[in-house]
Amino acid sequence: MTEIIIIRHGETEWNKTGRFQGHSDIALSQEGRAQAAALGRNLAVDDVDAIYASDLTRAMETAAPLAKRFGLEVIPDAALRELNFGAWEGRNFHDVNAEYPGAMKNFYNDPELADIPDSENFTDFQKRVARRVRGIAEEHCGKRVIIVSHGASIRILFADILAMPIRSIWHISQLNTAVNRIRFEDDGFAVVSLMNDTSHLSSGIGE
């Protein structure tokens, strides 16, 4: 059995102000750094064999306390990045909704129909993320691996594993530093055993 623990990055200022981040390289906020520190202290595992992260700063910063705890280097991987939001990146949700009301409605109700200028197609996005996570599981067969990624990336992965339509991804909650566990059997069959867990934060961010 192979276990993948996939974690959303900590809070950023753009999370707080409701901006599309995508491939924009945004650092953690002060709160996000505190969340990452609590994650590093309190994640309920005794050993980890490898740690991967999206190569964007917010994911690498979230992974850093875990890497320090387990004495590992974080392996940056661009295939684990968030969806590329194209022309929407850096823009506030409300402003985008005012300019592209039909596209925003599709974005939440049927993402595959969302017409976002210069963006990544949701189907291609799912193939990118799911293929890489399954590849990591194959490369570390029988091991436990942590991956730090992004909210939409984790949701689109779950849609692949659970055979959900892409239009359902926004029904899955992924809070900042949410912990998710996936068990991969030797034949690649995957089982989600934990989703959107933030119990590590209840032990006290400021400790």
* Residues 143, 52, 54: CA angle, nearest 5 degrees: 150
Q: What contacts 202, CB < 8 A, 6 or more positions away?
A: none
- Catalytic (active site) residue 138: no
Of residues 3, 9, 11, 61, which has the active-site annotation? Answer: 9
Got the DSSP string for 124-166?
HHHHHHHHHHHHHHHHTTTSEEEEEE-HHHHHHHHHHHTT--G
- Provide the pairing of β-strand 190-197 with 50-53: unpaired
What is the sign, positive or negative, of the torsion defined by CA atoms of 106, 148, 200, 194? positive
Structure-block tokens of residue 96: 């985008």
* Beta bridge partners of residue 192, listed in sequence order: 182
- Catalytic (active site) residue 9: yes
CA pair distance 13, 179, nearest whole angstrom: 21
Of residues 61, 82, 150, 200, which has the active-site annotation? Answer: 82
CA pair distance 154, 137, nearest whole angstrom: 15
As annotated, the active-site residues are 9, 82
